[in-house]
Amino acid sequence: MSHSRKTVAVVGAGTMGSGIATVMARAGHTTILFDIDEAGLRRGVDTVHGFFDNSVRKGKLSAGQASAAKAALKGTTSLADLASSEVVVEAVFENLDLKKEIFGQLDEIVSESALFHTNTSTLSVTGIASGSRIPGRVVGTHYCNPAPLMKLVEVADGRHTADWAHRATLEFLGSLGKTGVVTKDRPGFIVNRFLIPWENSCIRALEAGLGTKEAIDSAVPGALGHPMGPFRLLDIVGMDIHQQVATRLYEQLRDPRFFPPPMVERMVAAGDLGRKTGRGFYEYGDTRLFGS
């Protein structure tokens, strides 16, 4: 797979999908963002545009570059519009049957040579690939959140992933300026095996009064060198997503470190999910994922 401009489809316009679409459009690929819900699609497109606008304000992109990136992005609520896609990145929520169904539908729409990527972080790539009649083209590509800012993408082959698909995936990620790290098809891969228990520990520390959210968010970057504190990160990820990932990993691994603390359930019940709802651990005037 060459580094030439490609047509890339991103299925799912939520937090991860809009972030991944941002990456694709910024790299110059023709990007089709799909969501079944028109309102959700509009929010996703607005999030992508907001990221590019913010990049111009910060001097990271020129106005011309931002305009070109925006022009590279199209939105649709029809899977049929993905027919020309050479790479499809599935980024819907963690439901095995849904992911399998999507790939089964796409088998009948896109070329047999198209790559299928699943952005799962807790489900079996092998299980998801079983939904396609060509499981050899399915590769797990877990983009670290926030996708436009983080370089790392975990790459996990399913049991039947073909060598050509693995090689093409790593080459494609290179065209995006990403670093692919190969891991096994196991729950949580590498990153979430470490990240989820750590985030839960930070939440428990806050619950116990060890420090304020501001203090903990200052201590972590200051002492550990992380780019942001755990609560700023959780507000970007979304507390509902954290709850889903943590719970699913706990169900598979039965390790109590993965079980979400009570504060998570209370925040989700209150609708305090993070930036996307305007309030999580902090309050936000701009609900776009990377708004200022």
Reported as a pLDDT band with limits 50, 70 and 90, residue 121 is confident
Mean pLDDT of 70-86: 98
Instruction: With a cut of 70, say whether residue 2 has pLDDT above it.
Output: no
- The pLDDT > 70 percentage for the chain reads 97
**Residue 183 CA: distances (Å) to CA of 37, 68, 192:** 33, 34, 12
User: Among residues 121, 124, 130, 132, which one is catalytic?
Assistant: 121
State which H helix or E strand residue 34 sits in. strand 30-34
Backbone angles phi, psi at 9, to 5 degrees: -105, 140
Residue 192 is a catalytic residue? yes
Evaluate whether 161 touches 125 at the Cβ level (below 8 Å): yes
What pLDDT, in 10s, does the model give residues 62-76?
A: 999 999 999 999 999
Q: What sign does the CA torsion over 66, 67, 72, 76 have? A: positive
What pLDDT shows up at residue 5? 87
Residue 78 is a catalytic residue? no
What pLDDT shows up at residue 288? 63
Cis (ω within 30 of 0) for the bond into 146? Answer: yes
User: Among residues 55, 154, 199, 200, which one is catalytic?
Assistant: 154
Residue 95 is a catalytic residue? no
Residue 121 is a catalytic residue? yes
User: Among residues 85, 119, 192, 200, which one is catalytic?
Assistant: 192
What pLDDT shows up at residue 3? 58
Mean pLDDT of 247-271: 97
Reported as a pLDDT band with limits 50, 70 and 90, residue 285 is confident
The full DSSP string for 131-156 is TSS-GGGEEEEEEPSSTTT--EEEEE
* 3-state secondary structure at position 129: helix
What pLDDT, in 10s, does the model give residues 176-211?
A: 999 999 999 999 999 999 999 999 999 999 999 999
Q: Do domains 7-183 and 192-277 have the same CATH topology?
A: no
Instruction: With a cut of 80, say whether residue 56 has pLDDT above it.
Output: yes
Q: What is the DSSP letter of 173?
A: H
The one-letter amino acid code at 118 reads T
Q: What is the gyration radius of the CA atoms in the chain, in angstroms?
A: 19
- Domain 7-183 fold: Rossmann fold (3.40.50)
Parse the chain into domains and list their residue ranges. Answer: 7-183, 192-277
The one-letter amino acid code at 191 reads V
What pLDDT, in 10s, does the model give residues 122-151?
A: 999 999 999 999 999 999 999 998 899 999
Instruction: With a cut of 50, say whether residue 257 has pLDDT above it.
Output: yes
User: Among residues 29, 142, 145, 199, which one is catalytic?
Assistant: 142
Domain 192-277 has CATH 3.30.470.20: no
pTM of the model: 0.91
Evaluate whether 103 touches 78 at the Cβ level (below 8 Å): no
Instruction: With a cut of 90, say whether residue 1 has pLDDT above it.
Output: no
Q: What is the DSSP letter of 274?
A: B
Instruction: With a cut of 60, say whether residue 289 has pLDDT above it.
Output: no
